[in-house]
Structure 1
């Protein structure tokens, strides 16, 4: 981290080199919210920690937000949107920590003292306030898919995304930071994140899907990502054969993004795709959209598109309103932060919000794995179940390393 993060100061820098484990464990020991992430194809992990007690925000205003990390649920209101302000920033590349100007001297000293204490292996990550778990069974999922197909074919909606969960025991040797490092190694092209907030819970994931991104060069980006099949073992992606169902599904997501641009009367954008991309053990169809904000006078494009896009048709459906209603009535459980969005806001690397996919929520002794599938009129309940099985392998492979 060569540049000083917005809102931080060199005067609060501790020049001692610390490990990621020390920083995360210190946050847990002090009961502080923590967010760690690595951007796709990057090497640096950044950590934000805040001393704030009230983390809830109504909705982010990206352009005016301080530096921090946003964590929002699938349905805003059922769970709060959380903002972890960058009171403490750590870079894995330098091993140094920086404190923002808002941090008191007493807070600095308390954190540094905690950092330097011997680490114990019996630390605990932050847990959700309630351990009540609503599960979606195989029978329930397939029944919902069958009902969705009938609803689509009756003309009430074009597509709906249905998801499910799987509860897995945590191996006795499971270590959260070690698991985060394994995700980094296993999925270099994904946005990798670890978010742990008191009362809200702890989530680990590797998402392939950009929601809204604005880099330091003021380039806005979003993607249409849909269609799924297992990756071809050792074969080039150009050999992938896509069914009409996946092509139509991806086209729906593209058209929705274009409709958002149209609502904002935005015509100056670049579109590239669709093309086949690999994300872990899966392949998807992806189309990239970009807007040069230096050439287009649209200072609030990031916030405006975030409000229009979330929840995207890739995780909800089309049209959005009937699809969301169908999900809430038939999915059978609360998605919580799965298929919400998360990422850094106004960091030195820009604002990068991703859809919270390929993730798991950590309980005390178990992990909840999440996965979904896009349902169209041509869907088959058994094939959609298998698609969720494939998607859950992303996190299952991480857990298997500790068995």
Structure 2
């Protein structure tokens, strides 16, 4: 980062984000902004092609960009892809100058005018959705669904299923995308903070704790994240006590990953965990898996595992096909990108794809919060409702 000079225009990172958002929204461009876990850098991709691109999941063949895939596979198996017409990166908390490799777009408007126009444009975001997808899921409806899940598990049709619900909230008059993004970065240092906008497709903001696949150099990584409880007390991670329901739920996800390794005859991998991790106001159980792709002679492991893993049992259930059918039969809304996957591809030698959890969708003057709960034979419907409420609050409290 250059030292500002007397002639260098200097702005804050919030103003820089506003200028990129303004350029994207007024130009009808696609944009993705993110902060990877345990870093302090905001990264931005702007796609000025004017084309909504959908690509095959061959990650190594893709240019620098950002991938977005819905929960449900499309018939052709493709994902949305924002190709980097421009890519910038800057440190959060530091002033930005024009000499910093064009770290921002200078626009001849006052900061307040830019913010006002961004607000107006965000409030007009309108993807193609059915009217059913604008309705909050009632508590009675969700609890009824959970009870049906337990019945299906008890009857032996399923081992686990992950029903989801929607909570609709009104978008505040003074909602500020850039300020909210930076607040999320500060509040959730271990999450993948993200905002993306694809005109006529979707506008989303989130803070997900779960990586689906990551490749960097010769190494592949994934994780099994499941089991949920509220983080309480001065040292919630140290004092966490897990019940058999949560332990088994997380073990199912770990077994799911290992079984997919077996499908491709991959035997050499490292597994660490499970351990308790904190994600916002919640605790989860997490196991990490790591593979040396060079030693395994499997350079395309990232693309292969991405296709095998999604959707994981953490967002769908076990067995997968039966769980998917149950979800389609009982959920009265389209999950769209919730529980799908998102993330940067081939940026600075790294690809990192995350499960799109703890996320919100902007539709006109409303915001849809999405959350799911892993249901097993030991689930208590009222507790599953409470869990989804806590998950919705992770993003919802920053919007309201």
Q: What TM-score does the superposition give when structure 1 sets the normalisation length?
A: 0.88
The offset of 1:393, in angstroms, is 1.3
The offset of 1:294, in angstroms, is 3.0
Structure 1 window deviating more from structure 2 (118-127 vs 31-40): it is 118-127
Aligned pairs for 1:214-233 (under 5 A) are 214-215=215-216, 217-233=217-233
For the structure 1 residues 378 and 236, does the alpha-carbon distance in structure 2 shift closer, same or farther, using more than 3 Å as the test?
closer
Structure 1 window deviating more from structure 2 (44-53 vs 219-228): it is 44-53
Residues 45 and 88 in structure 2, CA contact (< 8 A), matched pair in contact too: yes
Deviations along 1:1-22, whole A, 9 cap, x unmatched? 99xxxxxxxxxxxx97771211
Q: Does 1:67 align with 2:92?
A: no
Deviations along 1:250-287, whole A, 9 cap, x unmatched? 00000000000000100111000000000000000000
Q: Does 1:84 align with 2:85?
A: no
Residues 162 and 374 in structure 2, CA contact (< 8 A), matched pair in contact too: yes
Structure 1, gaps ≥5 residues long: 3-14, 100-110
Q: Does 1:269 align with 2:269?
A: yes
The offset of 1:175, in angstroms, is 1.1
Please state whether the residue corresponding to 1:63 is helix, strand or coil.
Answer: helix
Structure 2, gaps ≥5 residues long: 3-7
Q: Does 1:49 align with 2:26?
A: no
The offset of 1:81, in angstroms, is 2.4
What is the aligned partner in structure 2 of residue 182 from structure 1? Answer: 183
What is the aligned partner in structure 1 of residue 23 from structure 2? Answer: 26
Give the number of equivalent residue pairs. 375
Aligned pairs for 1:117-196 (under 5 A) are 117-118=109-110, 119-120=113-114, 121-123=116-118, 124-125=121-122, 126-130=125-129, 132-134=131-133, 135=135, 136-196=137-197
Residues 91 and 97 in structure 1, CA contact (< 8 A), matched pair in contact too: no
The offset of 1:56, in angstroms, is 3.3
Q: Does 1:393 align with 2:386?
A: no
For the structure 1 residues 326 and 389, does the alpha-carbon distance in structure 2 shift closer, same or farther, using more than 3 Å as the test?
same
What is the aligned partner in structure 1 of residue 364 from structure 2? Answer: 364
| C-alpha RMSD of the superposition | 2.2
The offset of 1:131, in angstroms, is 7.0
What is the aligned partner in structure 2 of residue 8 from structure 1? Answer: none
CA distance in 1, matches of 2:18, 2:52: 24
Please state whether the residue corresponding to 2:303 is helix, strand or coil.
Answer: helix
What is the aligned partner in structure 1 of residue 287 from structure 2? Answer: 287
Q: What TM-score does the superposition give when structure 2 sets the normalisation length?
A: 0.89
CA distance in 2, matches of 1:262, 1:152: 26
CA distance in 2, matches of 1:398, 1:139: 26
For the structure 1 residues 39 and 282, does the alpha-carbon distance in structure 2 shift closer, same or farther, using more than 3 Å as the test?
same
